Amino acid sequence: MNHSKPKRSLPKGAWDCHAHVFGPYEVFPLAAQRSYTPPEATLEAYLAMFDHVGVTHGVLVHPSAYGANHEAMLDALKRSPKRLRGIGVLGPDASDSELEHMHSHGVRGLRFTEIGGAGKPQRFVGSVGFDAVPLLASRMKALGWHAQVWAALATVVAALPALTAHGVPVVIDHLGQVDVSKGVSDPAFQQLLGLLGEGNVWVKLTPARNSKQFPDYGDVRPFHDALINKNPHRLIWGSDWPHLNMGELAPDVGHLLDLLDDWVADDELRERILVKNPAALYGVSQPR
């Protein structure tokens, strides 16, 4: 889709903290066993969108459709090392040399998933579950990596004591995968707010997959507001490009950034979420 330019320019050094790249498939074929088959979404296409909306840095998340093969993401990181960081997907059997190789290419964390397509409880084929975090934590901590987690909110908050016990930062995907029908008083969401307030977790502000009110996502805003009011120092923003399996509900990235601007309505806070927080989390110096 064609993405609009944000109505206001982004602050210098802005980050998009969640995206995926696929292909070209003649070079980087998908895994034979996978839960979905996405269209190609190349690095060139991502960077074109990236530049169009005014983003400076991005984070590529390794998608499960590639299984354990990280070549597509690592190639993208190698080709744009000053602008991109990566999140891998590895199990406890990964070797130290594999982790070190990925770190040298700009990988700064691993993703752990307890969710499947269309919100199904089984994991996507090619993903790694929460049970792997304790087994990898010491090596992740030594590298300065974090654990990025994706699951239904109740699953996330139930697992968080164990996930945070090892001293590895935890980043929660997709606004905590909140159920908007339960409202902000939902006990699971209140637990999340408590942990966020204590600084124990980070939350990624990617509202589109939680909303039933495309394209302005008004049903998500109360949750977004509550997170910002609780602890804006632990929030980051992501486009979720190329919006896998969303079809006609795929968002316009420029509009997503306009919504963030409207919902935050404070330049210093906008810069914190788009620039300062991700620079600290992903280990890149802020622009001067």
Dihedral sign (CA 243, 247, 249, 252)? positive
Residue 4 lies in a domain: no
Residue 265 lies in a domain: yes
Residue 214 lies in a domain: yes
| CATH number of residue 142's parent domain | 3.20.20.140
By CB neighbour count within 10 A (0-12 exposed, 13-18 middle, 19+ buried), where does 263 fall?
middle
- For residue 261, what are the domain limits? 15-282
The whole-number pLDDT of residue 287 equals 42
Residue 216 lies in a domain: yes
- Give Cα 261 distance to the centre of its chain: 19
Residue 134 lies in a domain: yes
- Contact indicator for 55, 256 with CB cutoff of 8 Å: no
Residue 3 lies in a domain: no
Tell me how many domains the chain contains: 1
At 147, phi and psi to the nearest 5? -100, 125
Among the listed residues 240, 252, 262, 267, the single catalytic one is 240
The whole-number pLDDT of residue 234 equals 98
The whole-number pLDDT of residue 288 equals 35
| Tens digit of pLDDT at every position of the chain (288 positions) | 689 999 999 999 999 999 999 999 999 999 999 999 999 999 999 999 999 999 999 999 999 999 999 999 999 999 999 999 999 999 999 999 999 999 999 999 999 999 875 555 578 899 999 999 999 999 999 999 999 999 999 999 999 999 999 999 999 999 999 999 999 999 999 999 999 999 989 999 999 999 999 999 999 999 999 999 999 999 999 999 999 999 999 999 999 999 999 999 899 999 999 999 999 999 864 443
Among 253, 173, 228, 245, which Cα is nearest to 206's?
A: 173
Residue 211 lies in a domain: yes
- Contact indicator for 6, 53 with CB cutoff of 8 Å: yes
Tokens coding 14: 């802005």
Among 196, 250, 246, 242, which Cα is nearest to 223's?
A: 196
Whether this prediction's pTM lies above 0.85 is answered by yes
Strand ordering across the sheet containing 107-114: 15-19, 57-61, 84-88, 107-114, 146-151, 170-172, 201-205, 235-237
- Contact indicator for 63, 22 with CB cutoff of 8 Å: yes
What are the Cα distances from residue 101, in Å, to 96, 108, 241, 273? 9, 11, 26, 29
The whole-number pLDDT of residue 105 equals 96
Provide CB contacts within 8 A for 181, sequence distance 6+. Answer: none
Residue 101 lies in a domain: yes
Tokens coding 75: 């190639």
Annotation says 240 is catalytic:
yes
